[in-house]
A and B are shown apart, each in its own frame.
Chain A
Amino acid sequence: MKTNTNNNQRPLIERPIQETAFYPSYKHLIQNDNYEEWSGYTALASFACEGQEYFAVRNTCGVYDICPMIKYDISGPDAERFMNRLVTRDVSKMLPERVVYAVWCNDNGHVIEDGTVFRYSATDFRLCCAERQLEWLEDSSIGYDVSIADVTEEIAGLAVQGPVSCRILKKMGFTGVENLKPFQLATFPLHGYDVVISRTGFTGDLGYELWIDVKNASDLWESLFSAGKPHGILMMGSEALEMLRIEAGLMLVNAEFMSCFQTVRLNRDRTPFELGLDWLVDFNKGHFIGRRALLKVSMKGLSRKLVGIDIDWNKQADGALIYDSKDASKQIGEVTSALWSPILKQNIALAYLDAPYFDGGKEMWAEVYLHRECMWERKMYKCRVAQRPFYSPDRRRLTPPNDM
């Protein structure tokens, strides 16, 4: 355990922040001390330049330390029944060595979180998510023959993302990694230990996530970076990831929605429908937590929905309110995450829009505030509903990927 310190300063707040298993390997690359806390771990917002890190993922390979991601191992004869009741989609259809994106709700059908479900075998699953929720999982396991273990501290993870990610992994000796389809996983040997590689990520690009026992972290990191160095491999921080995930149109807990465990105000809870995740809700698979509430909700029309929008001009529309007209007479939505997309040269955002605006085709205006030479200016820009993902290159889906 270490306290969060900047090199030249006393700690602002004394509190334990843990280093990830990879931290000793990459700390020499940290140039601007742009730290942040993530689930009790030291994480980097950027190593040197977030723009450069962003472009590494789009052009070569960027690596993101995902050790702090919360990981629960769920095993036992009833693991499939347990998982199928927990999440809204049908995981009984999942084959072993597959990964799916899933969302799970409380009794009221309000979203607790979204995350990924890894299936290793008929009886072994892993749930990866951003927030701790062991209590909910344990209470949900009452009546099931399953064991639930928080393995966050035991499993180290690296996201290796970008057009040359596959090539680097092949060079490391992961023979056959190119045959992994999106959302498929497999176990590969490396220097006498196992590396689980899943073709998953949060960047909307070709990419893989590598999962190992924490004790092998430095060996994996060294191998990866020595193989990747000629290909322009770069560590990246959360600021670059934020740009990437917005271009990929992916939502983030505490940005697009808050877990229903944490909301205080009324009307801050979200159903999967409001998040545009109706494709994840399977009413035909039998009961799951929140099903009855969601069934009722689904009978009524939606009053708001999260969509992608495209805004005129090039001023990033952070926190913009959206109106029905240029004179801002009626608010009809708001931006949750915004980005001037470097690769698309487009002003994009994720936003909640009221009915019927989320269906598109109506006139909408975003109210954008600009800070220019120490003065705030308010600008109204026309905007429209746009397809998500905003950016989705073919290499994201191609198996095997083009050998770049």
Chain B
Amino acid sequence: MAKHYQNIVIGGGHNGLVCAAYLARAGQSVLVVEAANEIGGAACTRELVPGAKVSSGAHLLHAMPADLISDLGLANHGLSFSAQSIKTVSLNADGPAIVFDGDTVKGEDVSAEDEAAYQRFNADMQRMAKALRPVFDKLAPEPSIETWAERLTLLGLGLRIRSLGRFHMRELLRIIGMNFYDLLDEYFENRQLKAAIAMDALLGAEWGARSMGSVLTYLYRLAGYQRSKGLGLALPAGGMGAVSQSIAAAAKAAGAEIRTSAKVKSILIENDKASGVELDDGEKIQAGRVISNADPKQTFLKLVNVDHLDTGFIRQIRNLRSRGRAAKLHLVLKAAPQFKGLQEADLGARMLIAPNMDDIELAFNPCKYGRYPEEPVFEITVPSASDGSLAANGQHVLSAIVQYVPYDDSAELDANRAAFLKTILQQLERYAPGIGKQISHAELLLPRDLENEFGITGGHWHHVELVFEAFLFNRPVPALARHSSPIEGLYMCGAGCHPGGNVMGIAGRNAANQVLKGGQ
């Protein structure tokens, strides 16, 4: 007779693996089924050409809690870093770069006032992010006050915000729904400086600096830096795949089983209770619980037969915003690229191409109407600069997030991809003259390609847009916010749940806790 598991986790992305690891450590039997032939989801390392590897999804670790890393003993399972707390450099095609290092900012065109303002800005934002951090770290609270536990949770949140003091509490309430453009205008003069800061609120999102709520996502990102406790922007040795591999190793060491190339066709439901999964090849695996790391749309519009769901719920799921706006560019370079105004020693830094906030906004506008931007904005890393294992023989690999790209599944996708790659390379050429000639291999993954590669609806790395209306108990929809679902025994553990995306692992950990509590 086939083995009956207590838990099946659908999807071997980092949240699924974290969830499996915590469940296995609690003595539960767990099977992780991953559709791809490697675990990791969008936190993975892939060979581009022989001798050159790249983090083909996320390329920096900046939000994983330090206590999760230590708790799961990831260092003992092979996780190390080739660089930590790397600098951020905002490139300028026609002038000097701006370098962000910790809480200081330096640049030839950056005034002393702006330097001081950055310190002040940083202190203000860090203070507010700290007040909100427990919200981002913990299980989404219930929006009701029926039990004392619920009242205390909400009261606690209120007290933390109040503890900022009268001035900062008012300031937080003033800015939290605000757009970042206006807030940055309040602090700074230098346009390039403002754009560089704005990028942290906008990466991966379907909005520009002028969109409401962009301050919230900035605080969200800062909370991520805080919880990583000094890791800052970090490059895992061997690429992001090393993160997933180490979590998988921790999970296996605790007794979890992992199967790759096992694509789930449907979630089995018997007597209104999840009872296992059916794979593409027809194999059925029984389990007491099914925990989906797939995004909510995939889980409830594809894997669960609609016979088991209510119409209002389906409406909510369908209306979720999951239009990925970020593309991924991978280049194999024959030699180290030369970026204008960049110190050679800073090639391992994170580089930004976003001349000013209006350019970000102009790059954002076309994607709203299904068009590609003429001058996209970039986050660039050259991980091989600090990690020789990624590229052999003096080669380098460049990994860039390119915003803002429409979700394009048209028949012209291939032609559009080729044309957009040309646009991108032309733009890069202005910042790194000669880079075109150094390219031995180029790959551009549009949202549609990311969707295919990682199985994420819309290719959105947060699964569901991180917007004010999809935070806390509304993420992704109220019925799923605390990891359980309308179907008994079916849980959610992915980025679609509070507290959302980035390689973070908190959703996976919270889900495991809820499962163990038999949680509602």
Q: In the complex, what residues of B have CB within 8 A of residue A85's CB?
A: 306-307
Q: In the bound complex, what is the Cα–Cα distance between A174 and B157 (angstroms)?
A: 73
| Contact in complex: B311, A139 (CB < 8 Å) | yes
How far does the alpha carbon of A201 sit from the alpha carbon of B307 in the complex, in Å? 32
Query: A337 near B: Cβ within 8 Å?
Result: no
In the complex, what residues of B have CB within 8 A of residue A292's CB? 272, 310, 486
Q: CB of A290 within 8 A of chain B? A: yes
Q: What's the nearest-Cβ distance from chain B to residue A12, in Å?
A: 38
Q: Is the CB of A143 within 8 A of B311?
A: no
Least distance between A81 CB and chain B CB atoms (Å): 6
B50 in the interface, Cβ–Cβ < 8 Å?
no
Asked if A106 and B486 sit within 8 Å, CB to CB, the answer is no
Report whether B307 and A139 are in contact in the complex, using a CB–CB cutoff of 8 Å. Answer: no
Contacts of A107 in B (CB 8 A): 310-313
| Most A Cβ at <10 Å: residue of B306, B308, B313 | B306
Within 8 A of B (CB), among A106-121: 106-108
A387 at the interface (CB under 8 A from B): no
Nearest Cβ in chain A — how far from B360, in angstroms?
36
Q: Is B314's CB under 8 angstroms from A142's CB?
A: yes
- The answer on a CB contact under 8 Å between A136 and B307 is no
Once bound together, how far apart are the Cα atoms of A92 and B234, in whole Å? Answer: 59
Query: Shortest Cβ distance from B273 into chain A, in angstroms?
Result: 11
Docked pose: A236 CA to B313 CA in angstroms: 43
CA distance A234 to B313 in the complex (A): 48
Contacts A287-B272, A292-B272 known; A140 to B311 CB distance under 8 Å? yes
Q: For A291, what are the chain B residues with a Cβ–Cβ distance below 8 Å?
A: 272
Contact A143 B306 (CB under 8 A): yes
Query: Does B311 lie within 8 Å of A136, measured CB to CB?
Result: yes
A289 close to B272 (CB less than 8 A) = no
**Residues on B with beta carbons closer than 8 Å to the beta carbon of A136:** 311
A233–B313 Cα distance when bound, in Å, is 49
Q: Answer whether A106 and B312 are a contact pair too, CB < 8 Å, given A85-B307, A143-B306, A286-B307.
A: yes
Count of residues in A whose CB is under 8 Å from the partner chain:
17
Which residue of the partner chain B has the closest CB to A138? B311
B window 268-324: CB within 8 A of A: 272, 301, 305-315, 318
Least CB separation from A289: chain B residue? B310
- Find out whether the CB atom of A106 lies under 8 angstroms from the CB atom of B311: yes
Report the minimal beta-carbon distance from B23 to chain A, rounded to whole angstroms. Answer: 25
Contacts of B272 in A (CB 8 A): 287, 291-292
Which of chain A's residues have a CB closer than 8 A to the CB of B311?
Answer: 106-107, 136, 139-140, 289
How far apart are B426's CB and chain A's nearest CB, in angstroms? Answer: 43
Shortest distance from the beta carbon of A105 to any chain B beta carbon, whole Å:
9
In the complex, residue of chain B having the shortest beta-carbon distance to the beta carbon of A105: B310
- Does the CB pair B306–A144 fall under 8 Å? yes
A6 to B314, CA, bound (A): 47
In the complex, which residues of chain A have a beta carbon less than 8 angstroms from the beta carbon of B313? Answer: 107
Query: How many angstroms from the CA of A289 to the CA of B318 in the assembled complex?
Result: 17
Contact of B307 with A287 in the complex, beta carbons under 8 Å: yes
Specify which of B310, B311, B313, B315 lies most central, judged by the most chain A CB atoms within 10 Å of its CB: B311
A106: chain B residues at CB < 8 Å are 310-312
Q: What separation, in Å, do the CA atoms of A289 and B305 have in the docked complex?
A: 13
Pick the contact of B318: A108, A142, A144, A286 (CB < 8 A): A142
Measured as residues with beta carbon below 8 angstroms from the partner, the interface class of chain B is 10 to 19
- Chain B residues contacting A142 (CB-CB under 8 Å) are 301, 306, 314, 318
User: In the complex the two chains form, is B312's CB within 8 Å of A81's CB?
Assistant: no
Chain A residue numbers with a CB within 8 Å of B306 are 85, 142-144
Closest A residue to B306 by CB, please name it.
A143
Chain A residues with CB under 8 Å of B315's CB are 139
Give the Cβ gap from B269 to chain A, nearest Cβ, in Å: 8
Indicate which residue in B308, B314, B486 contacts A139 across the interface (CB closer than 8 Å): B314
Assembled-state Cα–Cα distance A289/B309 (Å): 7
Q: How far, in angstroms, from A185 to B401 measured CA to CA in the complex?
A: 64
Chain B residues, CB < 8 A from A140: 311, 314
**Chain A residue, CB-CB nearest to B308:** A287
Bound CA–CA A21/B308 (angstroms) = 41
Q: Which of A85, A106, A107 has the most CB atoms of chain B within a 10 A radius of its CB?
A: A107
In the assembled complex, the Cα of A289 lies from the Cα of B313 at a distance in Å of 10
Instruction: Report the Cα distance A286→B309, complex, angstroms.
Output: 11
**Bound: A139/B319 CA distance, A:** 12
Q: Is the CB of A81 within 8 A of B307?
A: yes
Question: Chain A residues with Cβ under 8 A from B318's Cβ?
Answer: 142
| Closest beta carbon of chain B to A83's beta carbon, Å | 12
Contact flags A132-162 to B (C-beta < 8 A → 1, else 0): 0000100110111000000000000000000
Contacts of A289 in B (CB 8 A): 310-312
Q: Tell me the chain A residues, 80-100 only, with Cβ under 8 Å from chain B.
A: 81, 85
- A:275-302 near B, CB below 8 Å: 286-287, 289-292
- Cα distance A60–B330 in the bound complex, in angstroms: 85
| Shortest distance from the beta carbon of A254 to any chain B beta carbon, whole Å | 22
CB-defined contacts of B309 to chain A, threshold 8 Å: 287
Chain A nearest CB, measured from B315 CB (Å): 5
1/0 per residue A181-195: CB within 8 Å of B? 000000000000000
Residues of A within 8 A of B301 (CB): 142-143
> Considering the chains assembled together, what is the distance between the CA atoms of A146 and B508 in angstroms?
38
Closest to B488 in A: A292
In the bound assembly, the distance between CA atoms of A151 and B440 in angstroms comes to: 63
Closest to B272 in A: A287
Q: Within the assembled complex, what's the spacing in Å between the Cα atoms of A97 and B465?
A: 49
Q: How far is the CA of A143 from the CA of B308 in the complex (A)?
A: 11
Chain A residues whose CB sits within 8 angstroms of the CB of B314 once the complex forms: 139-140, 142-143
B301-351, CB < 8 A from A: 301, 305-315, 318
Which residues 222-248 of A have a CB within 8 angstroms of B? Answer: none
Most buried by A among B307, B309, B315, B318: B307
Q: How far is the CA of A290 from the CA of B313 in the complex (A)?
A: 10
Residues of chain A within 8 A (CB-CB) of B305 are 143
Within 8 A of A (CB), among B465-520: 486
Nearest neighbor of B314 in chain A, beta-carbon distance = A142
Complexed CA–CA distance, A316 and B306 (Å): 48
Nearest B residue to A293, CB-CB: B310
Smallest beta-carbon distance A19→chain B, Å: 34
Give Cα distance in the complex from A290 to B308, angstroms.
10
User: Which residue of chain B is the closest to A290 with respect to CB atoms?
Assistant: B310
With a CB–CB cut-off of 8 A, which chain B residues contact A290? 310
User: A286 contacts which chain B residues (CB < 8 A)?
Assistant: 307
Question: Can you list 25 A-B pairs, Cβ within 8 angstroms, ordered by A?
Answer: A81-B307, A85-B306, A85-B307, A106-B310, A106-B312, A107-B310, A107-B312, A107-B313, A139-B311, A139-B314, A142-B301, A142-B314, A142-B318, A143-B301, A143-B305, A143-B306, A286-B307, A287-B307, A287-B308, A289-B310, A289-B311, A290-B310, A291-B272, A292-B272, A292-B310
Known: A106-B310, A143-B301. 16 other contacts (CB 8 A): A81-B307, A85-B307, A106-B312, A107-B311, A107-B313, A139-B314, A139-B315, A140-B314, A142-B306, A142-B314, A143-B306, A287-B272, A287-B307, A289-B310, A289-B311, A289-B312
Q: Which residues of A contact B (CB under 8 A)?
A: 81, 85, 106-108, 136, 139-140, 142-144, 286-287, 289-292
- 3 closest cross-chain pairs (CB), A and B: A143-B306, A107-B312, A107-B310
